[in-house]
């Protein structure tokens, strides 16, 4: 418990690095039509599972009580941080003509599932994650919980999943949420066992990470190219989960080195890490716009990346202003009620 309290008080920089890395991987995967070689625009699902694992790590200690009120307060706080950037950017792009109510209704665009698959998944997975973290008998056995979720996912895969074509890495399909929830649980497991892994480097972590990386991408290429029977495509999810494990182990092992990296490098990582959600919600339309300009590489990459970062920074600044304004208003109301 003393170790956990010390952990709460200090910044865990490798998590900041992983969050920034996830944002870069997801964004890079959407750069189709930007690179001269399309295979470079890859790594999006790795970024996704990193995001969910980081969320599980950061939300391991739920401060609210296990009650309907406690859950409502915790869940409301999570939604309050997710929805303003999504709603604001969706409204802007709709007014600009890039999104349309003719395609989907208001509820679809602004509430669920929204244009952003991450939002649709995280607001659902927050619910079982809260109860997993708050029920002590469950929280003490995270490995067993992960095994149980894997068994349920395997059962769904065997009996109901369409295995005629390769599509297991399609992020807008409900089945992907088994992988995402497992990633959250893995992140929580790493937080629980932080003392066992942080700043304890072993060269086998590099080897394991490299091997799992190769297995994941080779299996993805072979399955998507029709060279392997799609009946066995679940191997691809197993491979990426193993890769996620090694990525977490490796970055946790070099946390001290990352924390003491060059000042400008740290600032850049922290800057990107602080804009992850905003980078995600602004990028789709901007990528389409820059792609259609027909600019040569790498000029198109530079312009696009700069535009994404700029729009994300502005969006975050506006949302931060909204958060502060609402918080002040609520504080004034609370003071009046106390008087």
pLDDT tens by residue, 201-249:
999 999 999 999 999 999 999 999 999 999 999 999 999 999 999 999 9
User: Residue 145 corresponds to which tokens in the numbers above?
Assistant: 């919980």
Distances (CA, A) of 126 to 72, 79, 261, 279: 11, 10, 33, 21
**What is the number of domains present in the chain?**
1
What lies within 8 Å, CB to CB, of 32 at 6+ separation is: 38, 41, 291
Angle among Cα 93, 285, 171 to the nearest 5 degrees reads 110
**Would you state the pLDDT for residue 200?**
93
Alpha-carbon gap, residue 108 to 63, rounded angstroms: 31
> In the predicted model, is pLDDT for residue 87 greater than 50?
yes
CB 191 within 8 A of CB 60: yes
Please give the pLDDT value at position 3. Answer: 44
Taking only the tens place, the pLDDT of each residue in 39-57 is: 899 999 999 999 999 999 9
Match 């997993």 to its residue by tokens. Answer: 132
Categorize the per-residue pLDDT at 327 as very low, low, confident or very high, splitting at 50, 70 and 90: confident
**Confidence band, pLDDT 50/70/90 cuts, at residue 123:** very high
CB 85 within 8 A of CB 315: yes
Choice among 6-10, 45-49, 142-146, 151-155 with the minimum mean pLDDT = 6-10
Statement: residue 125 has pLDDT above 70: yes
Give the pLDDT mean for 111-134: 96
Residues in the chain: 339
Residue 47 belongs to what domain range?
2-338
Query: What pLDDT was estimated at residue 336?
Result: 76
């Amino acid at each position: 418990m003393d170790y956990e309290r010390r952990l709460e008080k200090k910044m865990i920089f490798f998590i900041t690095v992983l969050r920034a890395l996830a944002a870069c991987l997801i964004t890079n995967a959407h750069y189709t039509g930007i690179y001269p070689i399309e295979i470079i625009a890859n790594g999006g699902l790795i970024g996704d599972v990193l995001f969910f694992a980081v969320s599980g790590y950061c939300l391991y200690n739920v401060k609210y009580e296990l009650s309907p009120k406690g859950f409502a307060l915790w869940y409301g706080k999570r939604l309050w941080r997710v929805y303003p950037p999504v709603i604001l950017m969706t409204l802007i792009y709709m007014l600009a003509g890039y999104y349309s109510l003719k395609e989907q209704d208001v509820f679809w665009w602004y509430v669920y599932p929204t244009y952003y698959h991450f939002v649709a998944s995280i607001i659902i997975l927050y619910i079982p994650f809260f109860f997993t973290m708050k029920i002590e008998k469950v929280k003490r056995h995270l490995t067993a919980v992960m095994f149980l979720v894997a068994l349920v996912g395997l059962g769904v895969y065997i009996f109901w999943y369409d295995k005629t074509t390769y599509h297991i890495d399609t992020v807008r399909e409900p089945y992907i949420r088994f992988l995402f929830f497992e990633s959250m649980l893995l992140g929580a497991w790493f937080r629980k066992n932080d003392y066992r892994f942080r700043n304890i480097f072993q060269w086998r972590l590099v080897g394991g990470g490299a091997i799992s990386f190769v297995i994941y991408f080779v299996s993805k290429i072979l399955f998507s190219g029709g060279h392997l029977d799609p009946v066995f495509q679940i191997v691809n999810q197993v491979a990426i989960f193993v890769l996620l494990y090694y990525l977490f182990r490796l970055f946790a092992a070099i946390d001290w080195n990352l924390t003491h990296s060059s000042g400008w490098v740290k600032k850049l990582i922290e800057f990107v890490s602080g804009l992850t959600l905003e980078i995600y919600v602004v990028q789709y339309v901007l990528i389409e716009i820059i792609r259609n300009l027909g600019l040569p590489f790498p000029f198109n990459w530079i312009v696009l990346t700069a535009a994404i970062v700029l729009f994300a920074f502005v969006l975050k600044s506006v949302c931060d202003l909204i958060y502060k304004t609402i918080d002040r208003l609520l504080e004034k109301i609370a003071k009046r009620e106390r008087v």
